[in-house]
Structure 1
Amino acid sequence: MSESAIGLRLHTPEGRAFLFDPGALCLELLPTGGPGPLARYEVLDTPAGLLDWVAASRLAPPGLRLPPVEERHLAAVRELRDALHGLGVARAYGRPPAAADLAVLNAAAARPPLTVRLTDEGRRAWAPGASVAGLLSTIARDAIDLFTGPYATAGRIRECGAHDCYLLFVDTSRPGRRRWCAMERCGNRNKVRAHRSRAQAEGEA
């Protein structure tokens, strides 16, 4: 994660790094893998993968410590992530949400979330007793806030415009015309393709 900007430091299949800011904690979970073509990005199949994501996410305050993570915890995180992907895609394309995805989201949100406390030094810190269930509740409640928020955010959930990119984000740009997950990734690829297409057309002319 960049120290100067909010977002996740992701890598292309070729190994090139780029900064991706989806605009919400719940959407930050989606690049960790998923169903279908997203399976090749899976990192939540090991405890280390989950802990690395927690450390890189926008969870505040940072430094969340979880108890030993088991396979059942990882399965629950993956289940919520896949439900969030389904709900995000449905919202991006104006489709009704799937009942199964809603059930997973609401079940996670029904549990107690992570809590913070004020330290002797006057700083925010995570209260003792953090758990994976509390983490999932915090993520699920963030998603509910996003999906039920003002149109300026809830109505601007987008999927990257590249044909082979499935990243979802909140378009927080003032004109509301963000098309790409990141300019340094899919935006630049589109520019290169457009330049090559123009050059080929000019050559044929």
Structure 2
Amino acid sequence: MRVGTRLLTAATGERFRFDAGCFCLELLITGGPGPYQRYEILHEPADLARWLEGSRLAEVAPLSGDDIRIQPAELRRIKRFRDTMWSVARTVAHGERPSSADLEVLNDSAEPPPRPRLDPATGVRQWASPVTGGQILGAAAREAIELLGGDRVERLRECAADDCQLLFLDTSRPGSRRWCSMQRCGNRHKVNAHRARQP
């Protein structure tokens, strides 16, 4: 499975692949406020370090738990950013304007991101270690600011299924992605549409 594509389990137990399209939206699948608390997986810094190994940040260069140093206070800030991003992204996906207070949380989170480097011995791209929680927060916040303040904001979507709130950046060439996953919501829509056409 490609880095950044996650295997998720629905409340029904159904498993499906999901690609959020960017790191700041991928972070949302780790949990969130209100009804999303039941999906929380970031209980301690080590949980985030493990999760990051398969994240979109690992597309730039491999991430290993040994290279990541996250303090409990940093994890709390990352979760606050994530919870705020849920609200901001949903609001924007519905064509509305987020609150100034929520946007300030994103702005205040834009710390310097991790620094990529070339290993002098091998020429291979890697992250300058240690990668800190503040840098992870900065990477997510800077990407969110670039997304929300740029041309790609029109491709920020919420899954079109009535019972799915997953958010993603539509990176398809035609910009026509509607579903979190064709394996799940897209397929259910096709089945329901087929049944509706039957006499």
TM-score after normalising by structure 2: 0.88
**Higher CA-based Rg:** 1
Structure 1 position 29, deviation (Å): 0.4
Distance 2:75 2:31 in 1: 12
TM-superposed CA distance for 1:6, in Å, is 4.7
Q: What corresponds to 1:188 in structure 2?
A: 187
Backbone CA RMSD of aligned residues: 1.8
1:98 counterpart letter in structure 2: S
Structure 2 residue aligned with 1:62: 62
Q: What is the alpha-carbon distance in structure 2 between the residues aligned to residue 56 and residue 78 of structure 1?
A: 18
Taking the aligned partners of 1:121 and 1:85, their CA distance within structure 2 comes to 40
Aligned to 2:40: 42
Partner of 2:143: 142
The 5 A counterparts of 1:57-136 are 57-59=55-57, 60-64=60-64, 65-67=67-69, 69-70=71-72, 72-109=73-110, 111-119=111-119, 120-136=121-137
CA contact (8 A) 2:70 2:133 kept: no
Q: Structure 1 pair 163/104, CA: closer, same or farther in 2 (3 Å)?
A: same
Alignment of 1:4-23 (within 5 A): 6-23=4-21
Q: What is the CA–CA distance in structure 2 between the aligned matches of 1:146 and 1:80, rounded to whole Å?
A: 15
Q: What is the rounded CA distance, in whole Å, between the counterparts of 1:96 and 1:188 in structure 2? A: 32
Q: 1:171 to 1:14 in 2, by over 3 A?
A: same
State the TM-score, normalizing by the size of structure 1.
0.86
Q: Does the CA-based 8 Å contact 2:68-2:129 persist in structure 1?
A: no
1:197 is displaced (CA, Å) by 3.5
2 CA distance for matches of 1:53 and 1:37?
21
> Where in structure 1 are there 5+ consecutive unaligned residues?
none
Q: Measure, in 2, the Cα distance between the counterparts of 1:28 and 1:62.
A: 17
Please give the alpha-carbon distance, in whole angstroms, between the structure 1 residues aligned to 2:83 and 2:192.
31
- Mapped contact 1:30–1:84 kept (Cα < 8 A): yes
Q: How many residues align?
A: 194
Decide which moves more: 189-198 or 35-44. Answer: 189-198
Bigger shift: 61-70 or 99-108?
A: 61-70
Cα distance in 2 between the residues matched to 1:104 and 1:146: 15
Alpha carbons of structure 1 residues 17 and 69: separation in structure 2 relative to 1, 3 Å: farther
Range with bigger deviation, 189-198 or 137-146: 189-198
CA distance in 1, matches of 2:22, 2:70: 26
> What's the CA shift for 1:196?
3.5
Stretches of structure 2 lacking an aligned partner (at least 5 in a row): none
Structure 1 residue corresponding to 2:23, chosen from 15, 22, 25: 25
Structure 2 residue aligned with 1:167: 166
Q: Percent identity?
A: 46
**Distance of 2:197 and 2:47 partners within structure 1:** 43
